[in-house]
C-alpha cells in the first residue's frame, strides 16, 4: 500500500523540508498557496526519485480542502501522515494596536482552518494502518508584541491538544512537536536582521522531528 503524506504549508521552510524528507518513502500531497514554490518543490522531489501531488490552494477555503480530502480518499483510500505546517505570521504589534485585518487573517489561517481540517483529515488517518497527525508548537503566547500570532497559534495548538486527548484510545495518534529556531521567512518577519548562522537547518530539523514520529 502506498504511504501517503499530506502536508499543509508545504511550499517553503519546514513544510518543504518535511516533504523532501518523506518523499523517498511516501507519496507527498503538498498543499500551499504559492504555485511556483510548489513546482520548485516538485522538481526537487522528482530529482530525488520521489513523487508528489501538488495542491495549490488556500487552506482557509473549506470547500477546496474538502474536495482535496475527498480526492485523496477516492485515489488512495487513506492518508498515513498529516503534517500541518501552514501558518500566518502577522506583523509584530502591541495588543492595544492590533490591526483588524491582521487579526482576521491570523485567526482564519491559524485557528479556524485547523478546526475545519481536523474533521476532514481524521477519516483519512483512521483508514490507514496507523495514521498520525503532527502539529508544530511555537510557544509565544503572551510574549510582548506577538498578540495576533501568539494568540491564534496557541488556539491552533489547543485544538490539537484536545484532539490528541480525544484520540488517545481510538486514534489517530496526534503529535505536538516544538521545532528549534530555523532561518525561515516566518522568523525573518519577527526578527529582521538576526544572525541566522546559529539557527537550525530546516532539513536537519525535518529529520529530527520525523524521528520523533516514526
pLDDT band, residue 108 (cuts 50/70/90): very high
Rounded to an integer, the average pLDDT of 110-137 is 98
State yes or no: pLDDT of 140 exceeds 90.
Answer: no
State yes or no: pLDDT of 46 exceeds 90.
Answer: yes
Enter the pTM of the model.
0.96
pLDDT at 186: 86
Rounded to an integer, the average pLDDT of 176-185 is 94
CATH topology of domain 4-213: Rossmann fold (3.40.50)
State yes or no: pLDDT of 17 exceeds 90.
Answer: yes
pLDDT band, residue 142 (cuts 50/70/90): confident
Under 8 Å between Cβ of 153 and 140:
yes
pLDDT at 214: 87
Query: Domain boundaries in the chain?
Result: 4-213
Amino acid at each position: 500500500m502506498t504511504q501517503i503524506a499530506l502536508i499543509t504549508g508545504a511550499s517553503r521552510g519546514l513544510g518543504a523540508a518535511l516533504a523532501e524528507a518523506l518523499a523517498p518513502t511516501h507519496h507527498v500531497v503538498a498543499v500551499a498557496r504559492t504555485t511556483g514554490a510548489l513546482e520548485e518543490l516538485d522538481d526537487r522531489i522528482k530529482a530525488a526519485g520521489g513523487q508528489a501531488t501538488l495542491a495549490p490552494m488556500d487552506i482557509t477555503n473549506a470547500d477546496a480542502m474538502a474536495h482535496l480530502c475527498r480526492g485523496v480518499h477516492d485515489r488512495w483510500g487513506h492518508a498515513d501522515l498529516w503534517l500541518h505546517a501552514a501558518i500566518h505570521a502577522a506583523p509584530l504589534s502591541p495588543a492595544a494596536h492590533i490591526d483588524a485585518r491582521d487579526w482576521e487573517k491570523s485567526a482564519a489561517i491559524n485557528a479556524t482552518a485547523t478546526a475545519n481540517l481536523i474533521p476532514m483529515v481524521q477519516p483519512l488517518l483512521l483508514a490507514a494502518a496507523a495514521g498520525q497527525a503532527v502539529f508544530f508548537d511555537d510557544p509565544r503566547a503572551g510574549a510582548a508584541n506577538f498578540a495576533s500570532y501568539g494568540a491564534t497559534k496557541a488556539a491552533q495548538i489547543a485544538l490539537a491538544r484536545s484532539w490528541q486527548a480525544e484520540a488517545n484510545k481510538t486514534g489517530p495518534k496526534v503529535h505536538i512537536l516544538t521545532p528549534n529556531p530555523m532561518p525561515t521567512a516566518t522568523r525573518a518577519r519577527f526578527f529582521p536582521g538576526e544572525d541566522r548562522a546559529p539557527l537550525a537547518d530546516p532539513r536537519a530539523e525535518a529529520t529530527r522531528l520525523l524521528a520523533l514520529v516514526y
